[in-house]
Every structure is written in C-alpha cells, then in structure tokens.
Amino acid sequence: MSIDTFTRSDVKVIAKKCCYQGFFTIDEYQLQHKLYQGGYSKILTREIFERGDAVVLMPYDVKNDNLIFVTQFRAGALRLANENKEQSPWLIEFIAGMFNENENPIDVAIREAKEEANLIIDAANISPIMQYLSSPGGTTENIHLYLGLVNSLDEQGKPITGYYGLAEEGEDILVSVMSRVEAMQWLAQGKINNAATVIGLQWLQLNYQQLQAKQQ
C-alpha cells in the first residue's frame, strides 16, 4: 500500500463542538478514519486548538551574510525554563504574525516586519520558502515561511537594533543582527529552539550560496 493512499474522503467526522471560544478556539471532534489493514478505526475523540494560520518572515542580508532576529517573552516556554534553568522564556525568533481578516501572507509579512522590527520590506523582496503544519497532532495551525531580503546595517554601517512591538498587544521586542555563521552556532548549541526559526535556518544553510550567487 502506498504511503499516500488515504485522502480527506477517508475520514468521517461524526460530531464537532466548540469547547472554548476566546482569543483562540478549542473544538472537540469525534471521528473515524480508514485503517491500513482494512475497515475503520473506533470513534476517536480529539480536542483541536484552532489557532489559525501564521506567517514567519526570515530577514536575510545577502550582501553582509547577516540575519535580523527578534527576541521576546513567550509564555509557552515557561515550563521548559522551569525545568531547565539554562533555558530562557525569552526566545530568539524570526518575525511572525497571525492573519487579519482579508489579508494575504505577503501583507502579513510586510505588516509584521514594520510592527516588530521597524523594517520596511517591498513585496518584491519577499519569496516563499515553504508551508508546514506546526503541530498537527493538536492544532490546525499552518505556517507560511518566507524569505525577506533586507539590509541589516544602518546609515552609519552599524547593525540595526531597537525596541519595537505593539504596546496594546503586550509586545516588548528586541531587534538584533547576527551573522549567519554565528546563528548556526547558536542553533547547534540549542540557544535557538523554536520550530519556525530552526526550520528557516536549516533551509538557509542549504541555500545561502545560491542566494549570494544571484546577488553577484
């Protein structure tokens, strides 16, 4: 049997109800799906975090081989920080944000770049890397990962920095610049440990030479 045998038509959603409705939504599903050895599974109950889709933008300065990062507090990282004192709940990340109504991914990337890092990026300098499901065992979230070509230096030739974010959303964001080489070292040391940033850096390590060649 092929690994891509089954499709959406091989799942029966028997019932669905909303368990929680707030900033996010949690829905409870009762469903069955086909089995590889024939027939259907028993009725499964699954609570799904309906978080919505998100955009992640990796700002890369090809000429200087630098990346722009944002660092901010993440409540979801508290448990790990409580268990391991070497871990911090302030995470080194790429720019990211959720969709507003009637926005497309490029619009989100441009908006979030300005809000989180005071970067003005033209749509022509944004290109898709991939889409992926962040944690499909429990959430519907689909991540749109993009590359954004930027200049990481200010008018004086110094790495840009600053404090940004929307106060009304409780954001307190530090912007910093790191070379690609140093970022890979931090990744290897476990200092960068959130999925979108890890995936983006791994993609960049495979593709940076082609990006640099195009700029020559």
For the question of whether the overall pTM of this predicted structure is more than 0.75, the answer is yes
* List 28, 112, 169, 171, catalytic entry: 169
Q: Annotated catalytic, 169?
A: yes
Q: Which amino acid is at 174?
A: L
What is the full per-residue pLDDT of the chain (216 aa) written as tens digits?
A: 678 889 999 999 999 999 999 888 999 999 999 999 999 999 999 999 998 899 999 999 999 999 999 999 998 899 988 998 888 999 999 999 998 888 899 999 999 999 999 999 999 999 999 999 999 999 999 999 999 999 999 999 999 999 999 888 888 999 999 999 999 999 999 999 999 999 999 999 999 999 999 887
Query: At 86, phi and psi to the nearest 5?
Result: -80, -15
List the one residue out of 164, 155, 181, 158 whose CA is nearest residue 70. Answer: 164
- Tally of CA atoms within 13 A in the half-sphere of 91 that contains its CB: 21
Helix (H) or strand (E) holding 214: helix 195-215
User: What domains appear along the chain, each with residue ranges and CATH number?
Assistant: 8-50 (no CATH), 54-215 (3.90.79.10)
Alpha helices in 43-154 (DSSP H): 78-83, 105-117
The CA distance from 22 to 70, in Å, is: 27
